[in-house]
């Protein structure tokens, strides 16, 4: 990259968003934000220290009494307006996502839509907050249950869906009457700041939604400050485990979604063209940087040779280029470091003895030489003990394992550390039914490669892909962001007039 080219791009200095105001990071630390398509620094992001993070929690705590006592109908109306603004600004938001993440424009638009669906879901929040009422649970006694907000909630989110993953969290939290502090990924923070401005335009009062940029120092405040009641996290498994144990130990409810190695089982009776096409999108869409990407294909019986035959030419022909390209099918990886890590995994796979059927390490690229690009890779004859199978690579690298039958495929999936999503491709209903019943994963597809639940269902994995009992958005999201209260009441003139010393039973 030439110095002249470097100087041609203005470097923007980003801010935090606290109490309805942009707050600068003067005097503090900053991190670089890159355009992955060019490799150039485009922004500097302030990294909040503990004091600044506490300032955001204070703003959220101050806004809580007003917002939590606003009627659910009024809160829903803010969400209706936010939804309109999202739709009107979808293109701009997608452009912002692509400029820091690298994903293709249409893929970024898809991310915006999936986030918007959560907003649509919470436009009906009054219906979901309706309690339960039982008349006469005892003589002259009524009982009812209601859901109340948890308080100040925090969200800590990953780089790979800088708009959608925050929107898995804050629309539900806000609609339920909570206030929120979001700590987005420091790799692509601009989408979160854009969302904060749209929420403000939608009429959300100051302090109800705050964005703190930063890294571990900011996160540690959110995990330990006694004013934070709930923490939602999405990211890698080691960090998810740390978030879960630390925030739980500080008395907070936590949902911490971690990493994945999603398996797709291909039965010999599957339509092989369909399966191969499904695998292409699922393994290489968004350069494999999706928590629901398929990164392990398990070919059963004679499916193996046919699958590789159908898949390999398509992977070789993948068009790689920037988000702005009309023809690209796959964009760059997010950072130079991540690209280097993914390439190291490809080197490792070769050393481990897997067959590298397609080597995308030096694939031709439409974009600039400085961009963080690599092509798609396929390994065949991968075995269970190999690190390229056991570990999450989070790049455009698909590993193919071969097994004799469905039970062996199931054992493989179930023995893996992660259990986020999985899929089976088959024409046989019995195989599909057996798989759905016995597989240990939170989200299962039958001839659907990426079974991401819609906003009105809940999203989450099993095993070390999720720490905590509740999934995100949908009914579990409402449960997570509300506390249940059950009331038992009678009027004084119908109450007993003498003391009772035995365990009360409802008569």
Q: Which spans of this chain sit near ligand NAD (rule: CB under 6 A)?
A: 156-161, 165, 183, 185-186, 215-216, 219, 234-236, 239, 242, 257-260, 291, 392, 394, 420, 461, 465
- The CA distances from residue 237 to 258, 317, 395, 451, 461, in Å, are 4, 33, 16, 20, 12
Backbone angles phi, psi at 502, to 5 degrees: -95, 160
Q: Which is nearer to ligand NAD, 151 or 468 (CB)?
A: 468
Question: Using an 8 Å Cβ cutoff, are 170 and 155 in contact?
Answer: yes
Q: Smaller CB distance to ligand NAD: residue 98 or 157?
A: 157
- Tell me how far, at minimum, the Cβ of 469 lies from ligand NAD, in Å: 15
DSSP string, 292-324: T-EEEEEEETTHHHHHHHHHHHHHHT--B--TT
Bridge partners, 422 (sequence order) = 263, 444
Question: For 55, how many CA atoms within 13 A lie in the half-sphere containing its CB?
Answer: 18
The 3-state DSSP class for residue 128 equals helix
Q: Residue 188 Cβ, how far from ligand NAD at the closest point, in Å?
A: 9
Residue 459 carries which DSSP code?
B
C-beta of 183 vs 252, nearer to ligand NAD: 183
Nearer to ligand NAD, 175 or 291 (CB): 291
CB of 156 within 8 A of CB of 222?
A: yes
Indicate the residue among 105 and 187 with the shorter CB distance to ligand NAD: 187
Residue closer to ligand NAD (CB basis): 169 or 406? 169
Q: Are 489 and 141 a contacting pair, CB within 8 Å?
A: yes
153 a catalytic residue: no
Please, which residue, 335 or 431, has the CB nearer to ligand NAD? Answer: 335
Supply 31's token pair: 């991190």
* Least CB distance to ligand NAD at residue 200 (A): 22
User: 466: closest CA among 255, 188, 185?
Assistant: 255
To the nearest whole angstrom, how small is the minimum distance from the Cβ of residue 470 to ligand NAD? 13
Find out whether 450 and 282 touch, Cβ atoms under 8 Å: yes
How far apart CA 180 and CA 13 sit, in angstroms, is 24
The CA dihedral of 383, 318, 312, 299, to the nearest 10 degrees, is 50
Q: Which residues contact 426 (CB under 8 A, 6 or more apart)?
A: 265, 267, 269, 270, 432, 435, 446, 447
> Residue 138 has which token pair?
């005892």
Chain-centre distance of CA 331, in angstroms? Answer: 19
Helix axes 50-68, 216-224, angle to 10 degrees: 40
Say how many residues make up the chain.
Answer: 507
Cβ distance to ligand NAD smaller for residue 243 or 346: 243
Q: How far is the CB of 177 from ligand NAD (least distance, A)?
A: 25
- Strands (DSSP E) found in 106-185: 132-138, 141-149, 152-156, 179-183
For the record, the structure tokens of 478 come out as 């409402």
CB of 129 to ligand NAD, least distance (A): 25
Find the catalytic residue in 123, 153, 176, 291: 291
Q: Indicate the Cα dihedral angle 430, 431, 436, 438, nearest 10°.
A: 100
Cα–Cα dist 65/112, whole Å? 31
CB closer to ligand NAD, 89 vs 465: 465
CA atoms within 13 A on the CB side of 239: 16
Question: Which positions are catalytic?
Answer: 291
């Amino acid at each position: 990259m030439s110095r002249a080219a470097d100087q041609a791009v203005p470097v923007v200095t980003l801010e935090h968003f606290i109490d309805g105001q942009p707050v600068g990071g003067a005097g503090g630390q900053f991190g670089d934000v890159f355009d992955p398509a060019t490799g150039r620094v485009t922004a500097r992001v302030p990294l909040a220290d503990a004091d600044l993070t506490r300032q955001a929690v204070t703003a959220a705590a101050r806004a809580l009494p007003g917002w939590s006592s606003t009627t659910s109908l009024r809160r829903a109306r803010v969400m209706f307006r936010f939804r309109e603004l999202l739709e009107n600004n979808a293109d701009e938001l997608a452009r912002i996502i692509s400029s820091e993440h690298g994903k293709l424009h249409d893929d970024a638009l898809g991310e915006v839509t999936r986030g918007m669906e959560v907003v649509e879901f919470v436009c009906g929040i009054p219906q979901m907050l309706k309690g339960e009422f039982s008349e006469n649970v005892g003589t002259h006694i009524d009982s009812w249950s209601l859901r109340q907000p948890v308080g100040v909630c925090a969200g800590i989110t990953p780089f790979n869906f800088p708009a959608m993953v925050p929107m898995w969290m804050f629309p539900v939290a806000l609609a339920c009457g909570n206030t929120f502090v979001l700590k987005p990924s420091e790799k692509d923070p601009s989408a979160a700041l854009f969302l904060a401005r749209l929420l403000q335009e939608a009429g959300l009062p100051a302090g109800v939604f705050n964005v703190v940029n930063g890294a571990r120092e900011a996160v540690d405040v959110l995990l330990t400050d006694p004013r934070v009641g709930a923490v939602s996290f999405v990211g890698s498994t080691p960090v998810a485990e740390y978030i879960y144990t630390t925030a739980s130990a500080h008395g907070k409810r936590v949902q911490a979604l971690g990493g994945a190695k999603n398996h797709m089982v291909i039965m010999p009776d599957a339509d092989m063209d369909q399966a191969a096409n499904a695998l292409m999108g699922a393994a290489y869409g968004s350069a494999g940087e999706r928590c629901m990407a398929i990164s392990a294909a398990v070919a059963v019986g004679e499916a193996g040779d046919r699958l590789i035959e159908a898949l390999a030419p398509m992977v070789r022909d993948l068009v790689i280029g920037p988000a702005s390209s009309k023809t690209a099918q796959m964009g760059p990886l997010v950072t130079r470091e991540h690209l280097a890590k993914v390439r190291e995994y490809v080197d490792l796979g070769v050393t481990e003895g897997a067959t590298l059927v397609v080597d995308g390490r030096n694939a031709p690229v439409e974009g600039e030489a400085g961009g963080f690009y690599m092509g798609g890779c396929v390994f065949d004859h991968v075995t269970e003990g190999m690190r390229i199978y056991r570990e999450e690579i989070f790049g455009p690298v698909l590993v193919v394992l071969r097994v004799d039958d469905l039970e062996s495929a199931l054992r493989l999936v179930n023995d893996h550390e992660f259990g986020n999503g999985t899929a089976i491709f088959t024409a046989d209903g019995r195989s599909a039914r057996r798989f759905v019943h016995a597989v240990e994963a939170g989200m299962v597809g039958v001839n659907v490669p990426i079974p991401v639940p819609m906003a009105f269902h809940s999203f989450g994995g099993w095993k070390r892909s999720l720490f905590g009992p509740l999934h995100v958005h949908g009914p579990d999201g409402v449960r997570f962001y509300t506390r249940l209260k059950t009331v038992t009441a009678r009027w004084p003139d119908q109450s007993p007039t003498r003391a009772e010393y035995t365990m009360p039973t409802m008569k």
